[in-house]
Chains A and B, each alone.
Chain A
Amino acid sequence: MTSSAVPALETRGLTIRFGGHVAVDNVSCQFTPGTLTAIVGPNGAGKTTFFNLVSGQLRATAGRILVEGEDITSLAPSARAKRGLGRAFQLTNLFPDLTALENVRLAVQSRAEAGWSLFKVWTSRRDLIAKAEEVLERVRLSDKRHIAPKALSHGDQRKLEVALLIAMEPKVFMFDEPTAGMSVDEVPTVLDLIQDIKHQGQATVLLVEHKMDVVRSLADRIVVLHNGALVADGEPAKVIASPVVQEAYLGLEAANG
């Protein structure tokens, strides 16, 4: 059995209710290694909530989550990260007073399982620092390595958010609107990075994105959420053309041009 036969990530009947409101409604979906799936839907459709369920920030009301066939529904976020689920946040979520380099180094250190070393000086792990520098270079933040996130521009914070995800080297990358609020000239850097990750082969990428041109150019597949439910799933061209999507979500954008 090859690894590609087993989905990298699978949800079965995933559901969460907030009081009476069903934010994610019985979503069953498989994500195969080596594919980039765009998750689209109007504001409040439940995309971020879906990510929160998968990476463990929220507990599902019902349903199961499997990583490479193993049930991880009851695991804490940290344990899921160790299983290869990596997550970048829609609302920037960094260590505000530590330097950009230290932010990334912490992600590298977690990946290297070096956190429980108590009696070594952290600078003696130069390999971790070098790795972090490398990742910062990839997101074009090397010159800002000693600046803390709270002093960085919004665009740079977004890039750092992506850098932390890359540094985790997950099997499943979850990007939540990575380019939102970025200036036009910063967007290509991030999109190129996602393209790179995709071309690296076995990575599974989930991308929540509102910009349809980005979705068209990157996605192998589109999943549409609407009111928490999965309403369409398939090849980008077909999904975009489908009436349900045109109506539910894309109508607006099509009308806007």
Chain B
Amino acid sequence: MSRSPAPALTVDRDRASGSVLTGLLSSDLPRSKVLTVVLLAILLMLATTPFVFSGSQPLSTAAKICVFIVLVASYDLLLGYTGIVSFAHTMFFGIGGYGIAIASERLGATWTSVAVGLGTALCLSALLAVAIGLLSLRVRAIFFSMITLAVASAMAVLASQLSTITGGEDGLSFQLPYELRPAFRLLSEPVFGVAVNGRLIAYYILFFATLLTFLLLLRIVNSPFGRVLQAIRENEFRAEALGYRVVAYRTAASVLSALAATMAGALMALWLRYNGPDTTLSFSIMIDILLMVVIGGMGTMYGSVIGAALFVLAQSYLQVLMDAASKALAGVPVLPDLVHPDRWLLWLGALFVISVYAFPGGIVGRLRQAEQ
């Protein structure tokens, strides 16, 4: 129904019209004109932000959208495609962030540190995901969710306790390799009036890493492997009876998802030049991820792009908007209080409830339905 029904075989038609694009998107096209336009708009916006908007706030917002696209898409692989409810996703996000931060701080601001940090973080995440998977994916779903919750909480406590390594509650600020610093100039002349400095390079590394990871995840969910994951989501008992080793497939999905989340954490740390409990590990981020997946549309991959963009934009600009509204309504009774910036979470919550009621299949599900 709303969750990714097998598309009719349109391979022949696709072949005629741009097989490269079809290949990049793994034959999983948006299947809705409005969705296509929205996705293209987001892509274009993210690709051109440094040249279109001035100041650091829009660029930071765009970078955050990129990071969350990876994070949410990787969570969709678990929740939307495989039907696994895990609360440990921010743990892997955090491992990525701390990997970069700790390595950069200890080993110095070099590319080697970045590579060592990322490599170590990816290995650690994979190991943890395998361990959690093998230990607990056999048990009932609710126990698995609880175990992930327990492990993630333990990790968060550990990160704040080991303050000599992690910086505790304060987190770690660190230097980036020279080529990523604002002072670095790749070209002596500005391009379109924008200086090609280390910050710009960092942004485009982020952008292309996001694009690549997203396309890779899209490929995985549309592979024979991805089809097995959906079968497991639908009826694990029958999938097992057909000869698919459910535990192994679930564990593999957990590992892939953990690796992508680690990647997202690393990108986040690289962008912020900082990592701490609040930027990657906190439980409120876990809730944000859940909201983004559901708002965008579970089991659609494209939903993660829409969900992340919408949510991060709301987070960044809803307060500004509300502040303006509050001031404009000054003098009117009650209303200014209602739209006071401090109430932004309330409004975000209201938006969420409304969108879940109005579009149970998320925005992507709704748009695709409208197309039919």
Asked if A48 lies at the interface with its beta carbon under 8 angstroms from chain B, I say no
Q: Are A117 and B238 in contact (CB under 8 A)?
A: no
Stretch at the interface among B157-165, B215-223, B306-314, B349-357: B215-223
Residue in contact with A76 in the complex, picked from B3, B228, B240, CB distance below 8 Å: B240
Least CB distance from A126 to B in Å reads 8
* B242 in complex: contacting residue of A98, A146, A164, CB < 8 Å: A164
- Identify the interface centre among B6, B220, B227: most chain A CB within 10 Å of its CB: B6
Contacts of B257 in A (CB 8 A): none
B residues 1-39 touching A (CB-CB < 8 Å): 1, 3, 5-6, 8-9, 11, 23, 26-27
Within the complex, which residue of A81, A97, A118, A146 is in contact with B223, where a contact is CB–CB below 8 Å?
A118
Min Cβ gap A129→B in Å is 7
B224 shortest CB reach to chain A, Å? 5
- Docked Cα-Cα span, A95 to B240, in Å, equals 12
Nearest chain A CB to B45 CB, angstrom units:
28
Q: Which residues of B have CB within 8 Å of A123?
A: 9, 11, 27
Shortest C-beta distance, A251 to chain B (Å), equals 35
The A/B interface has a contact count, at CB < 8 Å, of 110
Instruction: Give the CA-CA distance A128 to B11 in the complex, in Å.
Output: 14
Instruction: Give the residue of A81, A109, A148 whose beta carbon is less than 8 angstroms from that of B227.
Output: A109
A110 touches B242 (CB 8 A): yes
Knowing A76-B240, A79-B245, A98-B230 are in contact, say whether A121-B235 is a contact too (CB < 8 A): no
Q: Do A118 and B5 form a contact, CB below 8 Å, given A55-B241, A79-B245, A168-B242?
A: no
Number of interface residues of B (CB under 8 A): 34
Alpha-carbon distance between A99 and B1 when the two chains are bound, in angstroms: 10
- For B227, the closest partner residue in chain A by CB is A122
Contact of A115 among B5, B224, B238 (CB under 8 A): B224
**B226 at interface (Cβ–Cβ under 8 A)?**
yes
For B245, the chain A residues whose CB sits under 8 A away are 76, 78-79
CB interface residues, A 154-203, toward B, < 8 Å: 164, 168
**What chain B residues lie within 8 Å of A106 (beta carbons)?**
227-228, 231, 239, 242
Q: Is the CB of B222 within 8 A of A121?
A: yes
Known interface pairs A78-B245, A98-B5, A99-B6; A122-B238 also in contact (CB < 8 Å): no
Determine the residue in chain B with the shortest Cβ distance to A108. Answer: B242
Nearest CB in chain B: distance from A116 CB, A:
6
Q: Please report the C-alpha to C-alpha distance between residue A107 and residue B243 in the assembled complex, in whole angstroms.
A: 8
- Hey, what's the 0/1 contact readout for A37-72 against B, CB within 8 Å counting as 1? 000000000000000000101000000000000000
CB of B101 closer than 8 Å to a CB of A: no
Quick check: A115 and B244 within 8 Å, CB to CB? yes
Indicate if the CB atoms of A82 and B243 lie closer than 8 Å.
yes
What's the Cα separation between A126 and B222 when bound, in Å? 14
Other A-B contacts than A106-B239, A121-B26, 14 sampled, CB-CB below 8 A, are: A57-B241, A81-B241, A95-B239, A97-B234, A98-B230, A101-B6, A111-B243, A114-B224, A115-B224, A121-B23, A121-B27, A121-B222, A123-B11, A168-B242
Q: Which residues of A contact B (CB under 8 A)?
A: 55, 57, 76-79, 81-82, 87, 89, 93-99, 101-102, 105-107, 109-111, 114-123, 125-126, 128-129, 146, 148, 164, 168
